[in-house]
Structure 1
Amino acid sequence: MSRPAPAGATGGVGARVRGLWPYLLIAPTVLGAVALLGYPLVRNLLISVQEYGMGELIRGDAGFAGLANYREVLADPEFWEVVRRTLWWTLLNVVLIMVLGTLVALMLQRLGRAMRLLVTSGLVLAWASPVIATTTVFQWLFASRLGVVNWFLTRLGFASFEGFSWTADGTAAFVVLVLLVVWQSVPFVAITLYAALLTVPAELHESARLDGAGGWRIFRSVTLPILRPVFGLILCLEIIWVFRCFAQIWAITGGGPHDATTTLPVYAYRIAQSLHRYDLGAVVSTLTVLLLLAVLIPYLRQLLRQEAEE
């Protein structure tokens, strides 16, 4: 006849099961994410070290090339020009998005209920609009002959904008794309920061005002330190989103004119699809991920260090 397990042993097993239960609950999601994200990454790395063109794609006999593809890309001056352009594109967009998003969030905090509801609804609609739909609207706004922007500028007395082609000039096309990306990104930043601002105790603002602090000093000394983790998270998300931005650029300019709007995602796509050099396209994609990690990791480490000190 078997003897019952000691009470302490049963309690130990139950405690271990309860400790593992949260991990078991999230395991399906984690495994799904690893499968969906891990396979393309591994496949891309494999292609980047193979001789993989149109012939190899059809025959399925790609040979091993080692690091020769990486050396070919890194030795190309055009690649480094695209890298510089991508960094400038990311910096300009992210700064504008964060500044404008913060200002809109602070404005929402001071608006009345009805006006705040109206502005928030407009932000949600702009945020929820599909990327291609918004891009198409901007193409119409900046059309050379029937565009609203040219019509409005001409009516203001700027005759040089009569029939002006925004996508035929590198600087003008870059400006249009920056306006488009900022327009699409500001609503997310504004709504998220506004929600975070609601968590800041009003007593802290009142105490700062009684001490004679102005609006900028209150934001810098009271609001910003409390919301630093939220700002850090939003900043990282925007860097990732802007850095890998592709659909807007490809739909409006295709990377032109004269490569003036070609960023790393567009560059990788053009190499793979136009030249049928899928191996070089995979190399550029891999280097893009590594460059993005190099940009984000130091900031994330600093953010975590500040959180640990607090």
Structure 2
Amino acid sequence: MLRKRDLWAYLLIAPTVVGAAFLLVYPMLKAAVISFQHFRMGELIRGGAAFAGLDNYLELVRGQEFWRVVLRTAVWTAINVVLIVVLSTLVALLLARLRRGLRVALMSALALAWATPVIAATTIFQWLFQSELGVVNWLLVQAGLTGFRGHSWFADGPSMFAVLVILVVWQSVPFAALTLYAGLTTIPAELYESARIDGGTGWQVFWRVTAPILRQLFALVASLEVIWVAKCFPQIWVLSQGGPDGATTTLPVYAFRVARSLHRYDLGSAVAMLTVVLLAVALISNLRRMVRS
């Protein structure tokens, strides 16, 4: 039987649970239902979608385009997550070594970068990488790289991919760096002093002291970044809409393009559900290990 104190605790968290269920669980369940239906423009207007079984999923897995998008999404996610974790670790170690004033200034800059709205940051990158008047091309030309004079970053697939990687990494590093720095502050200074007395170099101290203690935190940050990067949509859509020639089309962009351009809401929902499944498969072992720890 619930005690009064326990009941009060459940009442306090009830709004959050209800809000999460409405904003997260319901849309996902609705998408799952649509993915098993014949749901196009006609069904959207008049209703009465017919059950289609696994037809939408079979259509996807039998097509070559879907697997090309899956591979591109995997490469996109791997490049971004590796860069984010490495750069965030370096920034966190730098924060731990700075004096208080410089540390506060750098943390404030990171917080401001993190708080910048996604669309605003994406628009700024549009200006920075503009072919004729962009600051990036001007700086590269001033550095002697005259081949970048008038270079169109948004018309070339690899260049567009690189711009999006820089944008996503820039937006992601602040959160990961501040999280890792918070973990660094929990490590007793005596461990570092003992390691240095034993003659350990900076690299050895990191791998023998810091990395083992923060292993679960690194795993958590990496898992969160995998989810965030894999489902990244606004930056890609605003800058390239998945182009040029599909070079930046990842699974979320592909799902939106299928549903919007072809009015195949059933197929788009199937892509979304397969994205969830692929992410779950990629992260399940890591999440289970963290839960056990």
Q: TM-score range by the shorter chain?
A: over 0.9
TM-score normalised according to structure 1 size: 0.91
**1:214 counterpart = 2:197:** no
Runs of 4+ in structure 1 over 4 Å off: 16-21
Mapped partners of 2:96, 2:36: distance in 1: 53
Q: 1:47 aligns with which of 23, 34, 38?
A: 34
Mapped partners of 2:204, 2:161: distance in 1: 35
- The letter for the 1-side match of 2:105 is L
1:38 corresponding residue in structure 2: 25
**1:301 counterpart = 2:257:** no
Q: 2:242 aligns with which of 243, 255, 275?
A: 255
Q: How does 1:206-245 map to 2 (within 5 A)?
A: 206-245=193-232
Structure 1, unaligned stretches of length 5 or more? 1-12
Point out the structure with max Rg over C-alpha.
Answer: 1
Mapped partners of 1:172, 1:28: distance in 2: 45
1:180 aligns to what SS in structure 2?
helix
2:86 aligns to what SS in structure 1?
helix
Structure 2, unaligned stretches of length 5 or more? none
Q: How does 1:105-116 map to 2 (within 5 A)?
A: 105-116=92-103
Q: 2:168 aligns with which of 176, 181, 192?
A: 181
Give the Å deviation of 1:22.
Answer: 3.8
What's the CA shift string for 1:233-269, capped at 9, x where partnerless?
1111111100000000000011000000000000000
Q: 2:76 aligns with which of 61, 77, 89?
A: 89
Which stretch has the larger CA shift, 129-138 or 150-159?
Answer: 150-159
Give the Å deviation of 1:19.
Answer: 5.4
- The letter for the 1-side match of 2:167 is L
Mapped partners of 2:208, 2:78: distance in 1: 25
TM-score normalised according to structure 2 size: 0.96
1:67 corresponding residue in structure 2: 54
Q: 1:271 aligns with which of 258, 269, 283?
A: 258
Q: 2:153 aligns with which of 145, 162, 166?
A: 166
Give the Å deviation of 1:71.
Answer: 0.6
Over the aligned positions, Cα root-mean-square deviation in angstroms equals 1.5
Mapped partners of 1:258, 1:129: distance in 2: 30
Aligned length: 293
- The letter for the 1-side match of 2:285 is P
